[in-house]
Structure formats: C-alpha cells, structure tokens
Amino acid sequence: MKTSREILFARHQSNAPKLDAIRREVVAGLNHQDTKAQSGAVNLVSWCLGGSNKLWLELIWPCRRIWSGLAAVWILIFIINFAQRDGSQDANAKSAPTAGVMMAFGEQEKLLNELLADRSLPVEADRPRNFTPKPRTETIRFLII
C-alpha cells in the first residue's frame, strides 16, 4: 500500500534531472546578478590592489626611462599651458576699457543713432511715368552689304 503522495512523487521522479537543471540555472542567474551588482566596486578594488601591481611590473617597470620621460614632457606641457593661461588672463585684465573710453563710445553711439533716425524718414517714391506708346514703323530695312 502507498500513500497518494508517494504515488505522485514516484510518477514524476523521472523529471528530477530536468528540475535539477532548472534549479541550477536559476541559482546561477542569482549568482550572476549578485556578482554583477558587486563587480563594479570589487573589480575596482582588485584592480587597484592586484591588477595595478601586475601592470606596474609588466608594462611600466621595464621601460621606466621612457615612461618617466613622457611623464616629464607632459608635466612640462601642463606647466606651460597653465603659465600661458595666467598670462592671457592678465592681459585681458589690462586691456579692460577705462571710463573715458566708455563715455566716448557712448557719444559716438548716440551720434550714430541720430544719423540713422534722419535716414529712416520716409522718402517720397518716384511717381510712375505715363507711358504712351509711339507709332512704330512697319517697314523692314534690309541691309545690303
């Protein structure tokens, strides 16, 4: 004698491998999600600790003179760039217009506006001319060369 439960389970026991596969797949998906969420921070830390060491030993240390030369050039470029920027800012500050110049500009602008106002008055348009057609000769002139 069997219970109904035993009968039901025995009937579907053959599908256990498929169910195992489904379970593994879903759990792997959970693992993947977890690792995906954590991977950003973990990867950064591991890269900083372990990966950077490897990078240092394999890429930078063998050609350290070239790298240090490149670094020096870049530093020089930055220094020059910053120095030029500071210089240009000073020049801009020096070339700022004074109050007198600004007043002169204001007067010139006022004068220009007055002149433009005179020209903007409506000018009487030319009247249309009365056109009377003149008689045309119907004779054809032949030029004999």
Partner 1 sequence: MPEVADIEQLPVPQARAGEPAAWDALFRRYQLPLYVYVFELVRDEQAGLDIVQETFIAAARHIGGLRDDAKFGSWLFGIAHQKCVQRWRKRREILLDEIPETPDEFEDSPDDLLIRREQEAEFMNLLNQLPLPQRSVLLLHFVEDFSLEEISHVTESPLGTVKSRLHYAKKSLRKLLEEKK
Residue numbers at the binding site for partner 1 (CB under 8 A):
1-13, 15-16, 18-20, 22-23, 25-27, 29-31, 34
Minimum separation from the CB atom of position 18 to partner 1 (A): 6
Residue placing its CB nearer to partner 1 in the complex, 30 or 49 = 30
Minimum separation from the CB atom of position 2 to partner 1 (A): 6
The CA distances from residue 104 to 96, 112, 117, in Å, are: 15, 12, 20
Q: What are phi and psi of 86, to 5 degrees?
A: -60, -40
Residue placing its CB nearer to partner 1 in the complex, 28 or 48 = 28
**Concatenated DSSP letters of 14-42:** GGHHHHHHHHHHHHHHHHHHHHHHHHHHH
Token digits of residue 131: 């056109």
Residue placing its CB nearer to partner 1 in the complex, 25 or 118 = 25
Give the containing element (helix H, strand E) for 97: none
